[in-house]
Structure 1
Amino acid sequence: MSVVELTNSSRWYGNVVAVNDVSMKIGPGVTGLLGPNGAGKTTLIAMMAGFLAPSAGEVTLDGAPVWGNVSVYRTIGLVPEREASFGYLTGRQFVRANAELHQLPAPGEATERALDIVDLVEAAGRNISTYSKGMRQRIKLAAALVHDPGVMLLDEPFNGVDPRQRLHLMELLTRLGAEGRTVLFSSHILEEVEQIARHIEVVVSGRHAASGDFGAIRRLMTDRPDKYLLRSSDDRLLATALMATPSVAGVQLDARGGVLVQVTDFGSFAVSLPRVARERSITLLEVTPTDESLESVFSYLVSA
């Protein structure tokens, strides 16, 4: 049962801060590292894996510093997002090379066991260059599992994977977590995290935005104020009427036309908007959400 812990950890490159004073603890089971692209997820994983030194703070594995401690590589398995150019190797050769790098006593047996775990035994004799995206993800996972690590770190493992392969990977990560391993995977897609991780860590712009049970954080995300752009036959009259609506927190006329409305309760707003328009003989031409991107959701979490 291994635990990876970051304590006030930061990483910067010159004047660019990639990770800013992050503290979190990752224990057994499956944890999702959620954040928009560019949030610092890859840097965090590289620090946890011992490939990057923290510029400040500390990263530990079971209480021992990760950076400069080669012994941690017997406990950590890393599945990077980038794919190294090993297309000329067969899947079996690639996994076997990793087994030999770890100086395992029976590299052949370890290789076959890892290939079996990811269900790639039949395709193991083919060159990696012939593999689909999903198969390449699975062969990287086999290479990371070959030494039977207690900690698995995966950077965007579902990127570019078709639905069938995604389901297979999700089932595999769930099984690894159920075995008692500490499994951390990063993603910028909320639904991926929701399906397999009950505990999540949210990062935005290098900062730690939220931590804990997925359900509670999901409620924070869905309960945030929503913004909509309304266009109608009489924007000024509509704006005046909406200011008296309980579910509306703010109203502003848009310089490009239309009304910008901040809503605190979408359910009530969806009922009251057509009633308000009908009572004043206003024709609604457009109702468009303006902040449905993940970045807006995460930014709300940071400022909440």
Structure 2
Amino acid sequence: MSTLALHQVSRWFGDLVAVNDVTMDIGPGVTGLLGPNGAGKSTLIALMSGFLSPSAGSVTLDGEPTWRNPGVYRHLGLVPERESVMEHLTGRAFVRANAELHGLPDPGAAAERAMELVEMNDPASRVIRTYSKGMRQRIKMASALVHEPAVLLLDEPFNGMDPRQRMHLMELLRQMGSDGRTVLFSSHILEEVEQVARQIEVVVAGRHAASGDFGAIRRLMTDRPNHYVVRSSDDRRLAAALVADPCVRGVSLRPTGGLEVEATDFGRFTHVLPRVSRDLDVRLVEVSPTDESLESVFSYLVSS
């Protein structure tokens, strides 16, 4: 059972602050590191894996610093988002080379076991430059698993995988978490995290925005105020009726036509709007959410 601990960690590159005062513990099981693109997820994973030094704070694995400590790699595996493979090698040679670097007693057998885990035995004799994006992801995964690490870090591991490959990798991560390994993977896609992880760490603009069970984080996201543009055949009558309902925090007329509506209860609003329009005999022309991007959801978590 291994634990990664980040304590008041910051990392800056010149004037750019990529990670700002992050404290979190990553323990056994599967943890999802969730955030929009550019939030600092890759920087955090590089800090956890010892590829970057913190500008401030500390990153430790079972009490040992990850920076300038090659010994941690006996217990840690990394699947980076960026391509970091030697394309002229076959998949088998690449994974075996990593087994040899770890000084395993039977590197050939270890490589075969790791490739079988990720279903890469058949294409293992091909050179990596001929692989698809999904195959490259899986051969990197095999290389990271060849020494059976207690901690596995994966940066956007599902990118480029087809649905079957994605389902297989999700099941593999769930199984490793159930076996007591510490698994952390990053994603900007909520549905990916939902299917694999129960523990969630949310980062936005380099800040630690939320932490906890997936259900609790999901409720925070669902309960945030929702903003809509509504166009109808009679905007003023519709506005007067909507603002009287407790699920609507505010309604304003737009200069270009239509309404801007802020609803505090998404579920209730989806029933109230059609009912009110029907009762008033007002025809709905457009109902569009204006803040459904992940960035807006995560920004709400930061401020809540």
Question: If the length of structure 1 is used for normalisation, what is the TM-score?
Answer: 0.96
Deviations 1:233-284 (A, max 9, x none): 2223322332212110011222332101011122322332233334444322
Decide which moves more: 73-82 or 83-92: 83-92
2:225 match:
225
Map of 1:156 onto structure 2: 156
Pairwise CA distance, 1:70? 1.2
The AA in structure 2 aligned to 1:204 is V
The residue that corresponds to 2:78 in the other structure is 78
Confirm or deny that 1:112 pairs with 2:103. Answer: no
AA matched with 2:78? L
Provide structure 1 residue ranges, at least 5 long, that are not aligned to the other structure.
none
Identity %: 70
Distance in 1 between residues matched to 2:270 and 2:95, nearest whole Å: 55
Q: Provide the residue aligned with 1:258 in structure 2.
A: 258
Counterpart in the other structure of 1:239: 239
What does the per-residue CA deviation read over 1:18-45, in whole Å, with 9 as the maximum and x for residues that have no partner?
1111110001111110111001000000
| Contact map agreement 2:32 2:199 (CA 8 A) in 1 | yes
Structure-2 residue corresponding to 1:133: 133
Equivalent runs, 1:176-255 vs 2, <5 Å: 176-255=176-255
Counterpart of 2:167 in structure 1 is 167
What is aligned with 1:302? 302
Read off the aligned partner of 1:223 and give its amino acid letter.
Answer: D
Distance 1:94 1:62 in 2: 29
Q: For 1:246 and 1:71, how far apart are their aligned partners in 2?
A: 59
Partner of 1:283: 283
Cα RMSD of the aligned pairs, angstroms, is 1.4
Cα separation, 2, equivalents of 1:58 and 1:255? 52
Give SS of 1:32's match.
Answer: strand
Partners of 2:57 and 2:298 lie apart in 1 by: 24
Q: Deviations over 1:176-225 (max 9, x none)?
A: 21221110000000111011101111111111111111111111111111
Alignment of 1:54-65 (within 5 A): 54-65=54-65
Residue identity opposite 1:53 in structure 2:
S
Q: Does the residue aligned with 1:176 lie in a helix, a strand or coil?
A: helix
Q: What CA distance in whole angstroms lies between the structure 2 residues aligned with 1:28 and 1:221?
A: 25
Work out the CA distance in 2 between the residues paired with 1:123 and 1:274: 55
Mapped contact 2:36–2:204 kept (Cα < 8 A): yes
Q: Is the 8 A contact 2:263 2:269 kept in 1?
A: yes
The number of residue pairs the alignment matches comes to: 304
Offset of residue 229 of structure 1: 0.5
CA distance in 1, matches of 2:34, 2:100: 34
Q: Which amino acid aligns with 1:157?
A: P
Distance 1:232 1:3 in 2: 55
Report which stretch shifted further, 27-36 or 283-292. Answer: 283-292
Q: How many Å separate the matches in 2 of 1:39 and 1:215?
A: 22
Give the 3-state SS of the residue equivalent to 1:231 in structure 2.
strand
1:4 corresponding residue in structure 2:
4
Q: Match of 1:171, as an amino acid?
A: E
Counterpart secondary structure, 1:124: helix
Distance in 2, Cα, partners of 1:271 & 1:107: 61
Structure 1: which 4+ aligned runs deviate by more than 6 Å? none
CA offsets 1:115-149 (integer angstroms, 9 cap, x no match): 22222222211111222222211110110111121
**TM-score, normalization by structure 2:** 0.96
> Runs of 5+ in structure 2 lacking a partner?
none
SS at match of 2:123: coil
